[in-house]
Amino acid sequence: MSAVRAIGLTRRFEATLAVDGVDITVAPGEVRGLLGPNGAGKTTLLRMLFGLIAPDAGSVELLGREFDGLGGEALEAVGGFVEEPAFYPYLSGTANLELLARLDGGPSTAAVRDALAKVGLEGRGHDRVAGYSTGMRQRLALAAALLRAPHLLLLDEPTSGLDPAGTQAVTALVGNLAAEGVAVLLSSHQIGELERICDSYTVMRHGRVVWDGSAAELIAAAPASAYALSTSDDDGALRVAAGHEGVRAGWAPGGALALSIEADRLDAFVLALGDARIAVRRLDLLASPLETMFFALTA
């Protein structure tokens, strides 16, 4: 049984085809990253999975249950949020979570305290949400999602607005939940963060899926990686690059060379520099496979 199985999801807003025939599946325990430029359709897709908006076409199954309307049954054991989740600003974080827990049929002070602690809001639960910072609201939203003891988490940019420690805490939390079998679908613009936690990726552009596969498939399919290169003779290195198949080089800001090279050609190129009596002083990977793939697919 898949945690998410959506087929042919389509949604139009007047002239905009926001989501156009998207298939997406997420297995239990899988963390799937949803990527795409602004306006690609990520939030619209997540809204349809949540039943916040109805698709014009396509079907959604969450945790094995067919989804045939807005809200209700199919959302049991599904947690998460899209864009900025709303809370009652004049109530405290704890009071907001208790309200939500009651809606889910059982306020539990211990569960609320536990959820607040998991997102690092312990000690701030009794402050009014109106006085929370952006990151604190984001953490509270995550706490609300955890409160449901979800088997499936749908998270739209869960780390936007979080400080580095918060981002790290969220990625660790997602990893732990996945290890317990929770399926996670999360959108993000922070590629480095996605690379640390995702098992698989769906890349969207103009409402369509332009790439879908596992992290290993992505690394295999990624185009040439980008490096910054400093040598004892950069002009000479440029000449060597010009005569070397599969290598493109040019000047980068700051005086180093920018190199675009396929992973399996790197060794030969470095050896060719050695043959030309050019010493490599630094070679830094500038763009990871997911980054180069993302730009190749969406540029």
205 binds ligand ATP (CB under 6 A): no
Asked whether 228 and 256 are in contact (CB, 8 A), the reply is yes
**Smallest separation (angstroms) from ligand ATP to the CB of 101:** 29
Beta bridge partners of 154: 80, 185
DSSP helix/strand/coil, 246: coil
Give the one residue of 43, 159, 231, 288 binding Mg ion; rule: CB under 5 A.
43
Q: Which is nearer to Mg ion, 30 or 157 (CB)?
A: 157
The string of DSSP codes covering 135-179 is HHHHHHHHHHHHTT--SEEEEESTTTT--HHHHHHHHHHHHHHHH
- Least distance from Mg ion to the Cβ atom of residue 41, Å: 8
User: 56 vs 234, which CB is nearer to ligand ATP?
Assistant: 56
List the interface residues with Mg ion, window 232-261 (CB under 5 A).
Answer: none
Please, which residues have CB within 8 angstroms of residue 287's CB and are 6 or more apart in sequence?
225, 226, 295
d(CA 101, CA 107): 5
Q: Which is nearer to ligand ATP, 42 or 118 (CB)?
A: 42
Site string for Mg ion, 13-42 (x = CB under 5 A): -----------------------------x
Q: What are the phi and psi torsion angles at 140 (to 5°)?
A: -65, -35
Between 90 and 129, how does the x/- string for binding to Mg ion read (CB under 5 A)? ----------------------------------------
Specify the amino acid at residue 144.
Answer: A
In whole angstroms, give the CA distance from residue 87 to residue 33.
26
When CB distances are held under 5 to 8 angstroms depending on the partner's kind, the choice from ligand ATP, Mg ion, none that residue 259 binds is none
Give the N- to C-terminal CA distance of the chain in Å, as an integer: 35
Residue in the shown chain whose Cβ atom is closest to Mg ion: 43
Window 27 to 86, contacts with ligand ATP (CB under 6 A): 36, 38-44
Q: C-beta of 202: minimal distance to ligand ATP in Å?
A: 11
Positions touching Mg ion (CB under 5 A) are 42-43
Positions touching ligand ATP (CB under 6 A) are 13, 16, 18, 36, 38-44
